[in-house]
Copies of this chain bind each other. A is one copy, B any other.
C-alpha cells in the first residue's frame, strides 16, 4: 500500500505548528527527491543493528523500504529526508521525537509494532559494542544529585494531578498492579498489589513503616487503614505530597500517616518495615550503596523490607528518549545491580518475584484509559505531548510484554532475624 507524501493522520495534522521546542522545521530539504543510495544503505545498516524487525518503512515520495522479506507487522512512514537523517544519527532518541512531532507515523497497531521491534532487537550482550557505546555516550543520563533528583522528579510527577487522574486508577497508583486473576479491574488489581506488598512485609498493628518514594500516597494510606500501622512516607514531588496529605486528612488517616516532602537521602528514624515501590528506578546505580546504608540505619533488628522496581536482565541504560523526554535520570537495574543496595549492609534476601506480565497488563489498562481521554489530554496539553505519552505508554507495554523490561519485588530482612515465614504458602492462602 502506497500513501501520498501528504498523508497525515488527524492527530498529527493539527500539531504541525506545535512542534517540539528546538526542532523548528528547517526549510524543506528537497524532501521531494527520492532517497539516495547512501540513505538506503544507512537505513539498511540501522535496521540490521536493530535485528531486522518485521516492519516496513515508507519513505517520503511513497518509496517503500523493507529490511527483510518477513511480513510486516506495521509500516513506518517517514515524512522527509530530515527526519530520516535524525533517525539515522540517533535512533533511540529521535524515533520518539519524530513520532511525537508527527514526522514518523505508524500504520498498524502501535503496541504490536513496538513489540515486534523489541523482540527483534538483539540482547544487550549481542549488540554492536561500538555503536552502543556511542549511543550511550550521546544519551548519558542526568545526575541524581539532590538538586538533580528534585528537577528530574519535578519534570515528570508535577505535570498536574489532573493529567494523571485521567488514566490512573481512583487511588492514583502509578506502579505495577498485581492481578491474581487477569480479569480484575485496574482498581481491584492496585488494591491487591498494595495488599500483596503488606502481606509480603507481614505488617502487624502498631508497627511503624518508612516508605521511600510514596507517589500520591495510596500505599501509605492502605497500610494505615487495613494494617493499623504508622507510616512516614517520603517524596520530593510537591504536587504529589499535597494531594497525599489532603486525601489522608479527608479519609481520617492524618494521625497515622505523615507525608514528608524530602529526599530519600534525608530519611531518618527507626521502623519495623521499610518499603519502596517504584522509586529505585530514580535513585541511580551510583547511589545504591547510600540507599542501602540508609535502610540499614532505619530498620529494626526484626525489621522487614521490600524493594519494588522496574528492572532488566542485562545492564543497559534507560531508553534514551524516555530518559530525556519522559523520565529524566531513570535507570532500571538488573537483579545483580539491585543486590548492591542490600549486600553491603548484609541484608538477607528472602524472596524475589518477577511481575513483568502484571506490568504489561497494568499498562494495557493505562493505555486504554489514556486513549479514552486523549481528546481532553490533547486539548489541555497539545498533540505533541499526547503523542509522546501515547508512545511512552505503548512502548512500556511492549517492553514488559516482550521481556525487555522486568518488574522485581525483593523481600529482605536482617541476616540474624529468624522470625521469617516458614514458606510462602501464606501469601496465597486467601487468594480467591
Identify the A interface with B (CB < 8 A): 119, 123-125, 178-180, 182, 313-315, 334-336, 339-340, 343-354, 356-358, 401-404, 406, 408, 414-418, 420, 422-425, 427-429, 431
Given contacts A334-B343, A348-B403, A424-B424, 7 further A-B contacts (CB under 8 A): A178-B423, A315-B343, A348-B406, A350-B353, A353-B424, A424-B428, A428-B429
Across the interface, which residues of B come within 8 angstroms of A415, CB to CB? 123, 313, 403-404
CA distance A356 to B412 in the complex (A): 13
A403 & B424 in contact (Cβ 8 Å cutoff): no
The distance from the CB of A334 to the nearest CB of chain B, in whole angstroms, is: 6
Number of this chain's copies in the complex: 2
A418 & B406 in contact (Cβ 8 Å cutoff): no
Give the 10 A-B residue pairs with the shortest CB-CB distance, closest first. Answer: A336-B339, A352-B352, A403-B415, A123-B346, A425-B428, A428-B428, A350-B354, A313-B415, A313-B348, A313-B346
The distance from the CB of A290 to the nearest CB of chain B, in whole angstroms, is: 15
Q: Which chain B residue has the least Cβ–Cβ distance from A402?
A: B416
Q: List 24 A-B contacts (CB under 8 A).
A: A124-B346, A125-B344, A182-B422, A313-B348, A313-B349, A313-B415, A314-B344, A315-B343, A335-B339, A335-B349, A335-B352, A348-B403, A348-B406, A351-B352, A353-B424, A357-B420, A357-B422, A401-B418, A403-B416, A403-B417, A403-B418, A404-B415, A424-B428, A428-B429
Across the interface, which residues of B come within 8 angstroms of A403, CB to CB? 348, 414-418
